[in-house]
Structure 1
C-alpha cells in the first residue's frame, strides 16, 4: 500500500518535472498503472484457485487427496507464474526501497514471497515436506487487490501546470509601424512590440499601456476582488482580462520571464519540495520486516542448537518468516482509504493527496484567502448615504436603470440590491460608458451620472467628506450617484461575507486551530472582513509569490499550516502548505496544487476535512492493531515457543487466523463514519453565489 503512495508521490513529483528519469511502468499515466495492477490481480486470482487445490497442506486439511503424478511440478509452474507476474510490482518496489535503505511494505511482502517461493521450490525438488505455494499465491493476490483499491481511490490527479498555460491567449494582435494589425502567435512576440487588446480579451504578455484606458480584471491572478482601473504607463499582467476599453500595450516580458511563468516555477518548486510524509503502515511494515528477519533467524538457530535436523529447523524458520507478513496489513489502510474517499466525495470533498490529508488532523493554523473563500467574491450594497435624494428607493431605482446596461461587477451588485428590495426600474433612455470613470445616461428625462470618487473630487462636487472617509476606511468601494452636478447619494459596496464563514471560524477556534487571513486584497477591505469574522491574524496586500513565503515563515514558527484558496495567486502557497485546500470551482491550477479540493466554496467544509482526517486516522490505527495483533500472537507460536507442551502452530492454522484478521479489518474499515454536524446545512445557497 505504501508503495502505491510512493508511486503516487513519484507521480506527483514528475507532473511536468523531469526530476527523475522514469523507466518501466512508472512512465505510464496513473490510469494505466491501475489497469496493470487489476490485470495482475485477476491473473493471480485465477491461478490461486488451482494452486490451493493442488497444495498438499490444504488437501490434508480438507481430508482429500487430489495428487497425481507430476501434480507437484504443475503446482511449481503455476506458482512460478504468480510469483513472477503477480509479484513483480512488489519485487521491483522492494528493490527501490532497499536501494533507498528504507525497507517498508514492499520489502516485507517481497521478503515473504521470496522465502515462500524459494523454500517451496526446494521442497518440490526434494527437500523437506510441506510447501507454501498457497501462502505465496494468496498473499500476492490480496496485496494486489489492496494496491488496486488504493490506487483507484487516489486517482484523479491530472497535469497541473499545463492548466496555467491555458490561461494565456494563443495569439495577439501585433501592430506594425503603420498601425496595421497582424495576428501573431504569442511565442513570436518580442519585448518592445506593440499589441492591441480589445475589450473582453486576455492580456497576451506582460507589458505597459502606451495608449488607452480600461478596467482590467486581475482577480484570477492577484486575488484583488475589484477590477483595477488602468491607464497609460500602467503595467499589465499576462492572463488578466481587459474589460471595457481598447488598449495598446508595449510588451516587456515574454515566455519564461513572464509573471505567470514565474508562478509556474514557484509551484513546481513547492511541489517538488513536498516531503514524502512517511507512511504509517510503511513504518509498521519496516518493523515487521526486521522482526520477521530476526525471529526467523533466531528460530532457525534455536532449533538447530536443540538438536533438530536442518530440514525441520528450516521449515520452522520459513513458517515464521511467511506468517510475519500479515495479509491484513496490506488491506488495513487501503480499505479505510477507499471508504474515507467515497465518504468525502459524498460531502463534496475531493482528496488528491492521501498522505497530506491523513496528516491534516495535526494542523494548527489555517490560512484563508479572502476573496471567493471567506467572501462570495461578488459585491453587495452595504450602505446608501443620502445627500440630495429623498429616499434610498429613488437612488437605487435610478442607479439600477443605468447599471443594468453595464457589465461591471459593481453594477451587478447594485442591480441585485434593487431586485432584493423589490424596486422596479425604468429603461434608461440613453447610456454612455465613461471609460475608467463611470456611467452617464438619461433616466425618466433626468441626466444621471454614476461615477468614481476620483471623478467627484476632480469636478469639485459637494458631498459629506467625513461619511465618505468612514466608508472608505472600512475598505468599501464607494460610488456617487449624481444628477447634473448635484450628488444625490453615495452607495457603498463590499465583497459579501459568506454566511458559513462565521460558523467555520468559530468552530476552528473551538478545535484549537488558529484561523488566519492571507489575501492579495487591500488592507482596509481585509481588516473590515477580518473584524466582522473575529480573525486575529490578518495578512493583506500579499503578492502571490509572497504568499508561499508567508506560509513558510509560519511553518518556521512551528505552525502546521493549511492553506485555503481558489486562484492562481494561491497556487504556490497551496503547494507549500502542509495541507493545500482548493475551494469552489476555482481555477484548475489551484486544484492541481492542492491536496484536497472542495466542490463548494464553503469554509465549513474545511472543518469537515479536519474531522474526517481525524476519524480516518483513528480507523487506520485500529486496523493496524488488528493486523499486527495477529502477528504478535502468530510469530511466537509458529516459532514453537509452546512446543514443549505440544503446541506447534501448523501453517494451516496460521491461514485460518490470517483470514480472520483480514475479515475483521475489512469490516472495521466499513464502519468509518463522519462525525454528524451539529447543525444541518440546509440549502441556504445565496443568490449570486455560483458565479
Structure 2
C-alpha cells in the first residue's frame, strides 16, 4: 500500500518524551513485569540516597549505577511501545490524508437510467451531507463521495490511493464486483451508486480505528501471555524475598558475612524476570496489526489476526481464489445438425443483455468472429446480426432488454425470447439438458472433454433443442500452487469448495495440489462444511464475496470478505480485503503466523536469557556466603559488583536491540510446527543462552581494562 510511513526525527523525539511520561505507575501497573522493575528502581534510588537503609554495605556510586540501569530498562521498554504506537499513528495519519471531502451529485429521481442522467436530474451537495441509502451519480473525472454499491452502469475506477495498485478496476452493477470506496476516482463512463455507509463509518474510517485500537486493546493470546508473565514474576518475587531472609539466617553462623545486599537481590530479581518479552509484548502486537492494514486488510479485531495464525483448515473457493475468476468465452462447439454460425448467433443473441463477465465475453467473442468472418468473406459474419456498435438500435433483430430472460438460481439458465417466439436458453449442461426436449448424443462427451481441460461448458438450446456448447476458460492464478504448498507445509489443510462440476473441480485440484475438494457445492453446503470441520476441533478460515457466502463467512473462525463484494459478505466476515483478492487469505494466514512466531521466538529468547543470567548473578551474590557456588561462575567474572552491573547493562540494552525485530517480525518461512519449534529452540533458545554470556563477559573485561570495581 502506498501509505507505508517511517518515523521521522520529530516522532523519535516524541517517542522519547512518551517513554519518560510512561514512568507513571498508573501506566506501568498494566504491565506487571515493568511495574516490579519500577518498584525495584525506587528501592535502589532510596539505597543511593540512604546507603545505610536495610544495612546495605555498598557505595552510593554502585547503588546509583544500579538505579540508572534499572530506570534505563523501563525507559527502553516504554520506548519500544511508544515507537510502535507512533509508527501505527503515522500509518493512521496517512490514511486520514486519503479522506477528502468532495461534492456529490445526489439524484432527485433514483429511477432515472444512468445513461439518461442530465444536469437537471441531480443536486450538488457536500459529501458529508450524504446519508446511507442516498443515490448519487458519478461520471468520468468525479471522485466517489462515499462507500457504496453500483446499482446501474459500469465504470473504470482508480483505486490506487486505497490499494496502491496503479491499474484501474472495473466496477459494475450486477454480480459480485459492485462495491466502490469513497475517495476513489472514476476514470471513464458513468455509474449510479447507492451510499452504504454513514459519515465516519467508511472502510477508511474502520482502517484508522483498527490501527489506533491496536495501541489500546490486547488480543486474547496476549492477555494469556500477560497472565503467564505475571505468574512468573510473582514466583520470582517470592523466591528473591525468601533469599533476603535466608541471607540473614546465614549471617548468624558465618563469620564476616553480614547478609545479602538488597540492591543486588533486586538486580537478581530483574534479571530472572522475563523483562525482555514483557517490554516488547505491546510493540509486537501493535506492529503485527499495522502489518495487516498495510496489506489492505481490515481486521475487525486482533482476535481474527491471531486466529489466522492458528488455522488448521483453509476452505477456498475456486473462482477468483485459485483461478483468476474471469471466466471468458474461448470457443463455440456445434452439436448435432447445427452449424457454427447458428451456435454463434444463438450465443450472441442470448447474451446481448447478460451483464455478467461470462455474458459480455460471449458477446465480444461472437463479435470478433463476426468481424473476422466478414473480413474473410465467410458465412458466420453474414448470419450474425451486426454487433451493437454497428447497428445501435438493433432494429434488424427487433430485440430489447424486455426480451431478456435473466439467470435464475432455480433454473440455472438465462436467455432471450425473440419477437417471432423463438426461445434461446444457455446455462449449465445438466440444467439445459433437463429443459430441452431434443439432446444430441455428443453433448456429454464434448462437455466432459471441456471440463477435463479445466474449462466450464455452457449448453445452448433453441426452442428446446440443444444446438451447441460455449466453452469458458478460467486460468489458474500465477504461483497459486506454490502458495498453497507453503500453507500445507505449515500444517494447514486446504479444501476447495466450488459450484463447478466434478471434472472441472478435479482438474483444478490436481493442478494446484489441493488436499481435498467438493464440487457442485451450494451456499448451504458451504456452511455445513465449515461446521463439520469445526466439529473436528479445528479452526477454519475461508473467503467469499457474495451474499450467499455470508453465512459461511460468519461461521468461520476467520472469514475474509472482499471489499468489491456485497455488503452482506462484508458484514459477515471478520476481515475485509480492500484489494478484493480472494487469495489474500493465504497472506493473512502468513501474517497471523508471523505475529505468533515473533512472539514465540522472542519469548524463547527472553526465557533463555533469564537462565543464562541466573548462572551469572547467583554465584556472584551468594559466593561470599556459600563458597561452593563459585563453581557455577562459568564466566569467572572479576568481582560480584562487576557481575551485577554487567548483567543489568545487558538486560537494559538488549531491549532496544530487539525493537527492530519486534516491529518487523521474524523472517516468515512456511514450515511445520515441529520445524518451527526446533528452529526457535536452536536459534532463539541457544542464542538466548549464549548471548548474555558473551555480552556480560565483554563488559566485565571492559571494566577490568578501565580499573572499575577492582
CA distance in 1, matches of 2:133, 2:578: 35
* 1:530 and 2:522 are equivalent in the alignment: no
Q: 1:185 to 1:280 in 2, by over 3 A?
A: closer
CA distance in 1, matches of 2:613, 2:132: 67
CA distance in 2, matches of 1:345, 1:186: 25
CA distance in 1, matches of 2:602, 2:491: 28
- 2:646 pairs with one of 637, 646, 653: 653
- 2:622 pairs with one of 641, 646, 653: 641
Alpha carbons 2:45, 2:67 under 8 Å: kept: yes
| Superposed displacement of residue 289, structure 1 | 1.0
SS at 1:563's partner residue? strand
Could you tell me which residue of structure 2 aligns to residue 41 of structure 1?
15
CA distance in 2, matches of 1:564, 1:115: 50
Alpha carbons 2:346, 2:460 under 8 Å: kept: no
Alpha carbons 1:579, 1:594 under 8 Å: kept: yes
Alpha carbons 2:595, 2:665 under 8 Å: kept: no
Could you tell me which residue of structure 1 aligns to residue 539 of structure 2?
560
Alpha carbons 1:626, 1:661 under 8 Å: kept: no
SS at 1:653's partner residue? helix
- What are the equivalent positions in structure 2 for 1:559-598 lying under 5 Å apart? 559-567=538-546, 570=549, 573-574=552-553, 576-582=555-561, 590=570, 593-594=573-574, 597=577
State which drifts further: 132-141 or 588-597.
588-597
- What are the equivalent positions in structure 2 for 1:22-61 lying under 5 Å apart? 41-43=15-17
| Superposed displacement of residue 388, structure 1 | 7.4
SS at 1:323's partner residue? helix
Q: 1:576 to 1:469 in 2, by over 3 A?
A: same
| Residues 153-207 of structure 1: CA deviation (Å, up to 9, x unaligned) | 7677999xxxxxxxxx9999799xxxxx9x998889xxxxxxxx98559xxxxxx
CA distance in 1, matches of 2:282, 2:175: 42
- 2:460 pairs with one of 469, 480, 491: 480
Alpha carbons 2:85, 2:286 under 8 Å: kept: no
* 1:320 and 2:268 are equivalent in the alignment: yes
| Residues 207-236 of structure 1: CA deviation (Å, up to 9, x unaligned) | xxxxxxxx98364799xxxxxxxxxxxxxx
Could you tell me which residue of structure 1 aligns to residue 75 of structure 2?
141
Alpha carbons 2:563, 2:570 under 8 Å: kept: no
CA distance in 2, matches of 1:664, 1:174: 60
- 1:601 pairs with one of 559, 571, 581: 581
TM-score w.r.t. length of structure 1:
0.55
Q: 1:411 to 1:384 in 2, by over 3 A?
A: same
Could you tell me which residue of structure 1 aligns to residue 332 of structure 2?
384
CA distance in 1, matches of 2:88, 2:578: 15
SS at 1:376's partner residue? coil
* 1:303 and 2:247 are equivalent in the alignment: yes
Alpha carbons 1:172, 1:185 under 8 Å: kept: no
* 1:673 and 2:649 are equivalent in the alignment: no
| Superposed displacement of residue 526, structure 1 | 5.9
Aligned-CA RMSD value: 6.5
| Superposed displacement of residue 386, structure 1 | 0.7
- 2:37 pairs with one of 109, 112, 119: 112
| Superposed displacement of residue 661, structure 1 | 3.8
| Residues 439-491 of structure 1: CA deviation (Å, up to 9, x unaligned) | 5899xxx9998644699999988653772798599795736386x99976442
| Superposed displacement of residue 109, structure 1 | 0.8
CA distance in 2, matches of 1:87, 1:218: 55
| Superposed displacement of residue 403, structure 1 | 5.4
Could you tell me which residue of structure 1 aligns to residue 233 of structure 2?
289
Alpha carbons 2:76, 2:656 under 8 Å: kept: no
Alpha carbons 2:425, 2:460 under 8 Å: kept: yes
Could you tell me which residue of structure 2 aligns to residue 270 of structure 1?
none
* 1:124 and 2:49 are equivalent in the alignment: yes
| Residues 286-326 of structure 1: CA deviation (Å, up to 9, x unaligned) | 35413431232122111222238999643333333333455
CA distance in 2, matches of 1:378, 1:135: 62
| Residues 347-384 of structure 1: CA deviation (Å, up to 9, x unaligned) | x5858566655565543311113442234333323663
CA distance in 1, matches of 2:369, 2:493: 38
SS at 1:559's partner residue? coil
TM-score w.r.t. length of structure 2:
0.54
Alpha carbons 2:553, 2:572 under 8 Å: kept: no
| Superposed displacement of residue 276, structure 1 | 1.5
Alpha carbons 2:311, 2:538 under 8 Å: kept: yes
Q: 1:425 to 1:286 in 2, by over 3 A?
A: farther
SS at 1:464's partner residue? coil
Q: 1:417 to 1:337 in 2, by over 3 A?
A: farther
- 2:400 pairs with one of 428, 433, 440: 433
| Superposed displacement of residue 672, structure 1 | 3.9
CA distance in 1, matches of 2:574, 2:50: 55
- 1:87 pairs with one of 23, 47, 55: 23
- What are the equivalent positions in structure 2 for 1:143-292 lying under 5 Å apart? 143-151=77-85, 217=174, 219=176, 276-278=220-222, 282=226, 285-292=229-236
SS at 2:251's partner residue? coil
| Superposed displacement of residue 433, structure 1 | 3.1
SS at 1:480's partner residue? strand
| Superposed displacement of residue 136, structure 1 | 4.3
Which runs of 5 or more residues in structure 1 are unaligned? Answer: 1-30, 46-81, 96-105, 160-168, 176-180, 189-196, 202-214, 223-254, 256-273, 678-691
CA distance in 1, matches of 2:667, 2:246: 47
CA distance in 1, matches of 2:131, 2:654: 63
CA distance in 2, matches of 1:422, 1:498: 31
What is the aligned length?
A: 520
SS at 1:277's partner residue? helix
SS at 1:363's partner residue? coil
